[in-house]
Amino acid sequence: MSGKPTEDVRRRITEFLVAHDPTTTGRLEFLRARYDAGLAWVAFPEGHGGLDLPQALQLEVDRLFDDAGAPDNNPRANGIGLGMAAPTIRRFGTEEQKHRFLRPLWTGEEVWCQLFSEPNAGSDLAAIATRAVRDGDTWVVNGQKVWTSGAHNARFAILVARTDPDVPKHQGLTYFLCDMSDAGVDVRPLRQITGEAEFNEVFLTDVRVPDANRLGAEGEGWKVANATLNNERVAIGGRAGPREGGMVGVVAHTWRARPERRTPELHDRLVRLWVEAEVARLTGQRLRQKLALGQPGPEGAAMKLTFARLNQQLSGLEVELLGEDGLRYSDWTQVRPEHTDMTGRDAGYRYLRAKGNSIEGGTSEILRNVVAERVLGLPPERRVDKDVPWKEIQK
């Protein structure tokens, strides 16, 4: 990478590291200073952690800080905040909201979760029943959310609630930023097939959300939520990584370490999946540029689809390569992890956890509809309740 923007960023980083030696500066002090210097996410506006520079420079910035031994902001522990909440707040938030939330989000001082899905409104998100009723300068929220990753560690949540039941379901939604420490927020664990409880169900009982924490206009929650979902799909399916990183790197290592298990058929499958993983990685680099601008499109659905399929096929191939060793499972203890580690633990865990990849962030079935209708321009499915007031829809 070359050119004046790169030279300017390198100079800024060099000067910053001289003033904030990572070996003597406290971690939080360092991260806060990096944000204030515009070296957090460089594509964001000045004053909000960035320098209004091309997203392509971010990899260079992160590499230079890594080479200097600088602390990171533990991105895996706050993936929803960084990948979903931050770009949505940047696009729809007021200046006051940006100043209040973006800095502690990026430094990791405040972890975020997502209160979207409900027991009867998962794939059909617009069918949510959680209600928010205006009471002066606050909204009183009641309802139940489910499959909420990381809610047990989160300070804030992005929340979609129904504010007008008298209009069609897509029109009566409003988007809020909810304080998870408020009275009336009850987080309960959901144990998964892996033994972990990274998911939760969240009960909201008379939770009072200030109108100042409303993101976007009243009744435009579907529009704001779609921006979040597009960001989510790119964040999950198009995340940054090195060549032969992620699951394909794990399986390639297993292949090299277990020559006695190799067969021509397994070799052909591995090579095909390796090529597909590399294509997905390069495509993700382009999509992340749109993500950083807060303008991801429906193309992210295709990336997320590819991510889920590759992870499931690769983890299955790894179990085959390991033979009976692939059936081992080290720990069924219910733990409450800070983040999901798809390449950690053992092959059995990776195989089981990958099953969730085709559900989280939008089911593969729904994402195929998104790709068909909004990318390929195919005729949409017939929706009989699209123009019916939500309160009249049979529940």
- Where does the pLDDT of residue 59 fall: very low under 50, low under 70, confident under 90, or very high at 90 and above? confident
Buried b (16+ CB within 10 A) or exposed e, 121-139: bbeebbbbbbbbeeeeebb
Give the model confidence (pLDDT) of 127-172 as tens digits: 999 999 999 999 999 999 999 999 999 999 999 999 999 999 999 9
Does residue 302 fall inside a structural domain?
yes
Does residue 193 fall inside a structural domain?
no
Residues in the chain: 395
SS (H, E, C) 196-212: CCCEEEEEEEEEEEEHH
Q: Is the pLDDT of residue 290 over 60?
A: no
Does residue 46 fall inside a structural domain?
yes
Query: In sequence order, what are the residues at sequence separation of 6 or more whose Cβ sits closer than 8 angstroms to the Cβ of residue 214?
Result: 139, 174, 175, 176, 177
Does residue 95 fall inside a structural domain?
no
Does residue 365 fall inside a structural domain?
yes
Does residue 357 fall inside a structural domain?
yes
> Side-chain half-sphere of 206: how many Cα atoms within 13 Å?
1
- Where does the pLDDT of residue 234 fall: very low under 50, low under 70, confident under 90, or very high at 90 and above? low
Highest mean pLDDT among 173-182, 188-197, 354-363: 173-182
Rounded to an integer, what distance in angstroms lies between the CA atom of residue 255 and that of residue 261?
Answer: 8
Range of the domain at 10: 1-72
Which pLDDT score, from 0 to 100, does residue 366 have? 87
pLDDT-wise least confident of 155-159, 264-268, 293-297, 388-392: 293-297
Rounded to an integer, what distance in angstroms lies between the CA atom of residue 328 and that of residue 346?
Answer: 8
Does residue 112 fall inside a structural domain?
no
Of residues 345 and 15, more confidently modeled:
15
Exposed/middle/buried for residue 89 (C-beta within 10 Å: 0-12, 13-18, 19+): buried
- Give the residue-averaged pLDDT of 78-95: 94
Q: Is the pLDDT of residue 292 over 60?
A: no
Per the structure, how many domains does the chain have? 2
The closest of 167, 140, 122, 117 to 385, measured between CA atoms, is: 167
Give the model confidence (pLDDT) of 18-30 as tens digits: 999 999 999 999 9
The closest of 101, 128, 152 to 334, measured between CA atoms, is: 152
Rounded to an integer, what distance in angstroms lies between the CA atom of residue 251 and that of residue 239?
Answer: 19
- Give the residue-averaged pLDDT of 225-248: 77
- Where does the pLDDT of residue 297 fall: very low under 50, low under 70, confident under 90, or very high at 90 and above? low
Which pLDDT score, from 0 to 100, does residue 215 have? 98
Which pLDDT score, from 0 to 100, does residue 1 have? 43
Q: Looking at residue 338, which CATH number applies to its domain? A: 1.20.140.10
Q: Is the pLDDT of residue 247 over 50?
A: yes
Q: Is the pLDDT of residue 187 over 50?
A: yes
pLDDT-wise least confident of 57-71, 153-167, 298-312: 298-312
Domain boundary among 53, 72, 91: 72
Rounded to an integer, what distance in angstroms lies between the CA atom of residue 303 and that of residue 179?
Answer: 31
Give the model confidence (pLDDT) of 248-286 as tens digits: 999 999 999 999 999 999 999 999 999 999 998 888 777
Query: In sequence order, what are the residues at sequence separation of 6 or more whose Cβ sits closer than 8 angstroms to the Cβ of residue 233?
Result: 296, 300, 301, 303, 304, 361, 362, 367
Does residue 319 fall inside a structural domain?
yes
Catalytic residues: 232
